[in-house]
Amino acid sequence: MYVTHGLPLMIYTVLAHSAVPGVLKSPTGLVRLIGPVAASFVSSQPIAASFSRLQQTANTIYSRMRFLGLNETQLSERCSLTAIHLFEDAEVPSLTRDRVSKILMNRQDVPAKSAARIITQAELTVLANVLGVSVEWLIGQEESRDPVVWNVLANPDRVVEFAHVLQAYEEVGKENKVWSQYLMHSYTSEAFARAFNQVHYEGKPNPAKARSLIEFYNRIARIRRKRILRTGRSFDYTSLLYQSHFEEVSCGQGVFSAISKTILRRNLEVMIDTITSPSLRIKLVIIKDDYVAGLQAVRDYEILSTVDNLFSSWNYHGGDVGWSEHPSYVQPHRQLLDRMSAHSLCRDVNETVEYLKSLQSRLRSRPK
């Protein structure tokens, strides 16, 4: 289900309905972002917009065009094809090269008189599909106190879109800092990620839902691993976990005892390699269990992440995802993660490596 929010002076927002606020977004194909069913909810009528919002949207469209290597003509051609698929039973928006040019004129502080003064909901839908992002991101959420909500199983293809949005913030930010209840797959072995997702989600009451979640999070793991485990990355990546959470998963305790010792040992080796490689710029922070205030603050989440003070995203225990650019979310989340970092079990990377090696020894002595 999609609902339209009347943001002040502006355009259009599609929120994936969920029982609780969550984060994530994405389209990869011509119809996959919203699709023909959701498109039927979209009106092609123009909606008034403040110049600042038009300028932000124009800048975002242009930035994404440059990233994809598209000029105005190429963008227009792709929009024409996409519009036909999205609006089979509705008025098809005409994003000609001239129309695209007029929208982009709003990038200037003093746009030409012929610059677009409105952008329709239908135009935003088409542009978001072609550019591989969400409508929410195109129009910006800094002024909206409502976080973007996304139901993973209802909209699984939005993972690529969310990856694009997160990437855009990582490119301008200095650090992506992430607290998680379990190991982030960005720096674990692929074998461990697959084994973890299998164990973690197969116990769901609904087998079909479990299979969907396993497939979905395996896909996320591949996307993020490819992005994080590369040299020349412009931002730091910091992962925070509580000691008890870290040891439960990495040592195969409780339900995770189903993961083989071979996979667990190899995974610890991979983590040691990643955090000791300066070019990867990955920091692992193990939080002392006695910092209970932080644990209480994240009790509703499995993952909480921020990119500087620009962007915040989170995962709920049920698997739903949410994100926000609004300071009322981002700043408190960032401050919380900074406080957690101050309660680290290890003082530096050398102590962290020694700690991981002690866990390897524990695994070797564990009965088969």
**Per-residue confidence at 89, pLDDT binned at 50, 70, 90?**
low
Average pLDDT, the chain: 81
The kind and range of the H/E element at 4 are: strand 2-4
In percent, how much of the chain has pLDDT > 70? 82
| Amino acid sitting at position 270 | V
CB 328 within 8 A of CB 190: no
Q: What is the pLDDT of residue 272?
A: 97
Between 357 and 120, where is the model more confident?
Answer: 357
Q: What is the pLDDT of residue 261?
A: 93
Q: Give the CA distances from residue 63 to residues 60, 71, 107, 308, 309, in Å, rounded to whole numbers and listed in that order.
A: 5, 11, 11, 20, 20
The per-residue pLDDT for range 298-344, each reduced to its tens digit, is: 999 999 999 999 999 998 887 788 888 889 999 999 999 999 999 99
In angstroms, the CA 80 to CA 84 distance is: 7
Q: Is the model's pLDDT at 46 over the cut of 90?
A: no
The per-residue pLDDT for range 232-275, each reduced to its tens digit, is: 888 999 999 999 999 999 999 999 999 999 999 999 999 999 99
